[in-house]
Structure 1
Amino acid sequence: MEENLLEVFWAVTRRLRVQTKIALEPWHVSPSQSRALGVLSRHGEMRLSALAEHLRIAPRSATEVIDDLEKRGLAIRRPDPSDRRATLVGLTPQGVSTMQAINEARAAEADRLFAGLDPADRADLTRILRRLRDAR
């Protein structure tokens, strides 16, 4: 029996998750921690509530992620100068360099995953996935 589109899509998604988990092993960073590092790397310092919104997780979960990253020296908290009741979170220099290394490892994994596609197929897949991502 031939696989349908949904089954194939989920199989590729699982493969990508496994490869990403393996790619993150050298830094002992979980996927949720890696996502938080990525958001902070792209957007800079922000309040925990804003980080939670970017990650689409509960503020309590964002606090736990930052607690773990802070213990490892990858993130830092500081008072928000515009509102002393609020706290900003950002990356430490070690967090920045770790995120750069993770991005390089992810790019290498993506290159391996998509290596079997010719440039035209890659472009078509990118266009289709963007359309699905942006559909409302």
Structure 2
Amino acid sequence: MPRTPDATAGDLADQLLSLTRRLHHVHKRNLSPVGITPAQSRLLRTVARTATPPRMADIAAQLEVVPRAVTTLVDALEERGLVRRVPDVTNRRVVRIKVTEGGIAALKELRQARRSAAEAVLAPLSADQRTELSALLAQLETEHPGR
């Protein structure tokens, strides 16, 4: 019996969710030696990618989380010396988050941990298959952005 488009879409969604969970689990395991959670890693990468140190509200909007979650993540990263709070040069009431030298070093370790996690999940695929998968995922992101 042929699969209906709805059933196929449901199967694909289940496969993508399963793969995402698997990647998250492997990623978390690889981040463990670095001492950073996936959420802290994501925040650190977000802050590092901005040209100007962002405000916590900006980070919350980018990560699509509540501001309190950002505060908790920043507190943990600041305690480890990976980020620091700095006053805004134009408005002393505004606090911005800046990556420290320790944070830059941690980002290098995180990059390697993320690569290792991706490699573990993608190992069964050939180089051509990885290229094709990347193109398909990029097309989905472009045509149906989640944000």
Instruction: Flag whether TM exceeds 0.5 (same fold).
Output: yes
| 2:137 equivalent to 1:129 | yes
Identity value in percent: 31
Q: 2:102 aligns with which of 94, 113, 131?
A: 94
Equivalenced residue count is: 134
- Aligned CA RMSD, in angstroms, stands at 1.5
Q: Which structure has more strand as a fraction of its residues? A: 1
**Residues 35-86 of structure 1: per-residue CA shift (max 9 Å, x gap):** 0011112115111111111111111211111011111111100110011110
SS of corresponding position for 1:84: coil
Counterpart contact for 2:47–2:98, Cα < 8 Å = yes
* SS of residue matched to 2:92: strand
The TM-score, its normalising length taken from structure 2, stands at 0.84
Q: Return 5+ residue gaps in structure 1 as ranges.
A: none
Q: Which residue of 1 aligns with 2:88?
A: 80
Specify which of 19, 22, 43 is matched with residue 15 of structure 1: 22
Please report the TM-score for the alignment, with normalisation by the length of structure 1: 0.90
Structure 2 letter corresponding to 1:84 = R
Looking at structure 2, the residues matched to 52 and 98 of structure 1 have their Cα atoms a distance apart, in angstroms, of: 21
Return structure 1 stretches of 4+ with deviation > 6 angstroms.
none
Q: Which amino acid aligns with 2:21?
A: R
Give the number of the structure whose alpha-carbon radius of gyration is greater: 2
